[in-house]
Structure 1
Amino acid sequence: MIGKLSMGAGAAGAIDYCYYDKKATDGNGEKIVRGELLYSNELFVTKLPNTHLHVQHLASQYKQVAQLNTRTEKFIWHQTFNFPPGENVSNETMVKIARDFAREFGFEHNQYLVFRHRDKPHEHFHIIANRINANGQNTATDKKNYERIQLFCREMEKKYGLSVTENKQKPHAQSNSVQADKLRKLIDTHLPACQTLSELSIALKKQGIIVYLGRGISFTDRNSGVTFKGSALGRSYSRRQIESRLGKSLALLAPNSKQITPGNQSSGKNMNPVIESKFPSQKESQPGSKMISQYNNATETRKDLAKINASLQSVKNRKVKRRIR
């Protein structure tokens, strides 16, 4: 038994994929059903006049709940479980595995559907779950799911007497190495077009990478939950070296890190955070010599104002003395 995971930002496409054949249609041009709905949780299942599932109605229910938490963009958890060729698995066992999985991974009380497919030589089924519950909470974390799903598969094989499937996916260490290479390429690709760490953070966020800044820099892959320190990726990816490659000096950056929301820093309650340093934007940043010059000008201005105030006070004192006389 092998489990595969993908995340999505909409339910309609996932449900349509699991329920209908991707290409074939009948004589009337209607889609052919290939998925058998085995189980539904916290959803109203309705049908069209042709007895097919009302996919759009199901998708709208997912979306309605997901809108309670706009911080989680990819709210759909699409899980597939594949069994080895020749192994016959009953509908009842598939539903039990799906319910065990929902309980183990945090969406037992959320919306989810279970579809069975028979269009391949091996038995397999799909789970389409909403990570958001009725209270607007993201209850299904996607951190370290590679290892967790593999352990779950081994437990299910033992619990339900299924044949043990050798894991043909890449070992974790090798997988991390591949992810690290991918991350380096993403950073190298986007750095030339960025002037600040803020711009780099936004560019990488669009690729599913979250940037965290403190004394150093780290990168987290939102899909796998794996985090890499910049220095672990190589010398060229430490915070100091990245800032150097951006043409920014450490002296112009404040030492503290802050969590902000791009585009709306005052009220980022319903948006995904990007972590970056407190440093001026490209428009606000100025060369050091210009900043020193402005500082000197401001100092001279304050001295001039002090002289003027002293002169005015002296005049007032003379007037007072004249009146006394």
Structure 2
Amino acid sequence: MITAVTLTGYASLVGAVAPYLLVRARWPHQAPTVAVLAWLGLMVTFVVSATLALNHLVLAERQHVHSGLLGLLSACGVVIDARAGDMTPAFSDFTALLGPAAIVLLPLGWLLHTARRSRRARQRQLDMLALVGSPAAEYDATIVEHDVPAVYCLPGRACRVVVTRGALDLLSGPQLRAVLAHERGHIEGRHHLLLMVTEAFGRAFPGLPLARHAKEQTELLLEMAADDHALRFHPREELATAMCEVASGRVPRAAMGAGGPGTLIRLRRVLNPRARPRRVTWVAVVATSVTAPLLPLLFTCGHVV
């Protein structure tokens, strides 16, 4: 019971307290890629700790330790071991696993659903672009005859960068190249996959502070990461001006637009850069993000074995 209570407290800390601390921290906007890893680490940690906590609550009296790998997993509360003298688990043992299994399978199921829905939406957009879009080799993009300035990308295997006629008429050459580099940063970083993970986690655990903040912050941080990709090759003023010009343009649901969320926050960040966190800071964040999901399992095994 002590193990279950400890794991429940750890899951509550990760799911309800840690998100607010990470949102209020200053360093994530200076190291957006590392910050996204931190959010992913929190989500994985919550799933692991909540699964083990529920597992120990419902199976506390069903665990019998044997030797070998099965015995280790049984002692750690990961699997059901057989009762003494009976190597066949009872039906009630399997039904007791439904709760812990649901915590793992629910976000995975939503992830598959989100991936299928996003793929269908992107395919519809690609089919439409085949009818109304014109390829522009000089920009490595597709031009759409639309007066509202917008630049966005359709990620995935058949990735495409789309520019409206309004954006072409409004942006200068350097500004257009800067915003195109932003979109290619999304594609090269496969940012759409990370967005699908946060969306699936949010649908699996609605109302959880971690789910809400992880989705909002990851969207903003990925836009910042794409900004950083563009700033490797283009001046800050060109990117900032292009962001302002296309900020009002609406993009398809399956796309990632150059305006994106938090445009004002990103503009201040682009025009007033701050020093990146010291190496010891992001090394500590990476190490914590990787080890945090392992702590519940290590605690369980160390407490029982």
For Structure 1 versus Structure 2, the TM-score category normalised by the shorter chain is under 0.3
Structure with greater helix share of residues = 2
Q: Greater RCO between the two (CA within 8 Å, min separation 6)?
A: 2
TM-score by length of 1: 0.20
**Rg larger in structure:** 1
Structure with greater strand share of residues = 1
TM-score by length of 2: 0.21
